[in-house]
Chains A and B, each alone.
Chain A
Amino acid sequence: MSVFLEVVVSVLLVFGSIIMLIGSIGLAKLPDYFTRLHAPTKASTLGVACILVASMIFFSVQLGHVNLKEVLITMFLLITAPVAAHMLGKAGLHYKVKMIDSTKNQHLAKKAYLQQHPDDK
C-alpha cells in the first residue's frame, strides 16, 4: 500500500470518527428532544460514510480489484436516515415531548398534533 493512500485512509478514518463523536456529543448535550434529533441524523450519517469510503479504498488496494460493496451501505444509510428522522419526529409530536421555552411557533407543533388526533381537543 503506497504512502499516499495510507494517509488518505487514515485521514478519512479519523475525520469520520470525529464527526460521529460530534453527533453523539450533540445527542448528549442539546437541550430538548427536537434539537437532539438534528445531531445524529446528520453527523452520524456523514461520519459513517467517511469510514465506509476509507474501508472501500483500503480493500480495493488490498484485494487488488475494485471493491464497491461499501457503497451499498453508504447509499442505504443516506436514504434511510431522513426517513427514520421523520418517523422519530412524528413519534415525538405524538408523545408531546417537552420543548424548551425559547422554541418559536409552538402552535405549529400543536396543529400537527391535532391532525394526528382529530378528536383530542
Chain B
Amino acid sequence: MLTYAILIACALICCALALNAWRLIIGPTTPDRIIAVDTMYINSIALIILLGIHQGSAIYYESALLIALLGFVSTSAFCKYLLRGDIIE
C-alpha cells in the first residue's frame, strides 16, 4: 500500500512542479516568476522526502533541510533585489 501511496504522491507533486514551471515560463512579470521559484523549492523538498521514504534511507533529510534554508534565503535575496536594485547595501 505504501508503495502505491508514494507513487501517487510522486505523480501529484510532479504535476504541481509542471504547473509551477508553466507559471515560471509565462510570467507575466518578474514577481510572478519569483513566486513560482518559491513554490518550486517547497515542492522539491517534498519530492526529496518522498525519495527518502521510497529508498528507506534517512540520509536525504540533510539535503531537504539545506534546500529549505537556501530557498528562503534566495527568495528574500530576489525580493530585496527587486525592492532596492541591490542585495547588500
Contact = CB atoms under 8 A, between A and B. Distances in A.
30 contacts: A1-B2, A10-B2, A10-B4, A13-B6, A13-B8, A13-B53, A17-B13, A18-B12, A20-B43, A21-B13, A24-B15, A27-B20, A28-B22, A40-B35, A44-B43, A48-B43, A48-B46, A51-B49, A52-B49, A55-B49, A58-B53, A63-B58, A76-B65, A76-B69, A77-B42, A80-B72, A84-B79, A90-B79, A91-B31, A91-B83
Given A36-B23, A36-B32, A44-B42, 11 more contacts: A1-B2, A9-B53, A24-B39, A33-B31, A59-B58, A83-B76, A84-B72, A87-B80, A88-B38, A95-B31, A97-B32
Contact of A94 (B32, B68, B83): B83
A10 B5 contact: yes
B83 A90 contact: yes
A115 interface: no
Interface residues on B, range: 35 or more
B83 A88 contact: no
Contact of B35 (A21, A37, A47): A37
A10 B50 contact: no
Interface of B: 1-2, 4-6, 8-10, 12-13, 15-17, 19-20, 22-23, 29-32, 34-36, 38-39, 42-43, 45-46, 49-50, 52-53, 56, 58, 61, 64-65, 68-69, 72, 75-76, 78-80, 82-83
Interface residues of A, number: 54
Contacts of B79: 84, 87-88, 90-91
Contacts of B34: 88, 91
B20 A24 contact: yes
